[in-house]
Amino acid sequence: MRDENQSVHLEQLLDRLRDRHAVIGIIGLGYVGLPLALRYAAEGFRVLGIDVDADKVARLNRGGSYIAHIGAAAIEEARAAGFMASTDFARTSEADALIICVPTPLTAYREPDLSFVIGTVESLLPHMRPGQLLSLESTTYPGTTEEELRPRLESRGLRVGQDVFLVFSPEREDPGNPDFHTRTIPKVCGGSTNACLEAGLALYRAAIDTVVPVSSTRAAELTKLLENIHRAVNIGLVNEMKIIADRMGIDIHEVIRAAATKPFGFTPYYPGPGLGGHCIPIDPFYLTWKARQYGLHTRFIELAGEINSDMPGWVVGKVADALNERGRAVMGSRILVLGISYKKDVEDMRESPSVALMELLRARGAAVDYSDPHVPVFPRMREHRFELSSVPLTPSSLASYDVVLLATSHSAFDYDLVRQYANLIVDTRGVYPNRLPNVVQA
């Protein structure tokens, strides 16, 4: 049985979600938060976006976008429906539901860094009121919602499950994937209490086609880690297979294509120069760190992490070998890196292995440039600095480099042009057949 206070707050929230009178607050307007804000606006909710980046906020309020696959028209449509952005956390008191979509990176010691999550919650607390729902979507280790968020809420006298409602619902965005959208990607949700889960399901069912309830916030947190660790481990396996195939003189991409014809029991994963993006290179370490608190050593996960982390070094070794066979050294060579975002056809630079390749080649004395239609100027990054702009691909520019290192296979590249005019191509993505005289697969 719900107590009287719980019933009043929960029923009022459910009513406001049902009739679209609820205000949805999204904290963090990046690759996860912005699509989610647009989704709720499309469903008729008034949406308040909060971000600490004043430039992002100003651009959104002018009707502009800073994410390539989200056009200005989508922003304008949301603004017409009542969406607006702000840097003012005091305004979060206006929202009935608050959804946190902020980064969860690693520290220099490869341990979880929850500073963005904790900082966001601390900024919200002075403005929170009874009747609000708080959802965390940032990927994290099992226990974060109960151990970090719930005590902070209750320290303010807000009873979770009675005054306020707390859930964890992991993000599942795949930027640039035309086959899946925020609405159509099933949403997992776990609540701190049964009443919290009821509120969370009502929140997400208002905007997402399929919502999958789980028994707890911890189960929801581990679900997200399993999804990404599954990919990391399988990519680690195929990267190791790539090294074996290379030593045996076999084209790993041909092998994958052949294996993928099996209609059961096999899912193709593809090798590359390393892992990129905010999730897959980072999330496994959230679980390995937490597992150590239980006296467990996650050997399988950590081995895959080691293999994937070693990939940039292995690729640079292939570049060095290819140059050596042509009587040149890496030092003094001119190398053009083709594609520096972490993923095909997006501008996202988070954890991009291409940047690690550039760093390693520069450390060996190479003169490094890049070409990427999605990244016209090398961005400011916390750990990397290159004063470079994207090089246009022309016959003369391609011919001027000793090596073209294909790191990210954007659709916009003219691969026939590259093949025709590049002196040497080191291909990490299997775009070219290995039998071409100026191509080395890596």
Q: Which residue has tokens 């990607």? A: 185
Contact 427, 359 (CB under 8 A): no
Give the span between the Cα atoms of 375 and 388, in whole angstroms. 10
Answer whether 421's CB lies under 8 Å from 415's CB: no
418 vs 425: CA distance, rounded Å? 8
Say which DSSP state 390 is in.
Answer: P
Q: What is the C-alpha radius of gyration for the chain, rounded to an integer number of angstroms?
A: 24
3-state secondary structure (DSSP) of residue 408: coil
Take residue 115 and report the two structure tokens written for it: 């500073």
Residues in contact with 35: Cβ distance below 8 Å, sequence separation at least 6, in sequence order: 70, 173, 181, 182
DSSP 402: S
- The DSSP call for residue 167 is E
Active site residues: 279
Give dist(CA 346, CA 133) in Å, integer. 33
Helical residues (DSSP H) of 326-414, grouped into ranges: 353-363, 395-399
The helix (run of H) or strand (run of E) holding residue 58 is helix 54-61
279: phi then psi, degrees, rounded to nearest 5: -100, -65
3-state SS assignment for residue 5: helix
Residue 111, both tokens: 């341990």
Spatial distance between the Cα atoms of 102 and 139, rounded to a whole number of angstroms: 9
Query: Measured between alpha carbons, how far is residue 178 from residues 155, 173, 209, 393 in Å?
Result: 44, 11, 17, 26
Rounded CA-CA distance 125/156 in Å is 8
Neighbours of 290 (CB within 10 A): 20
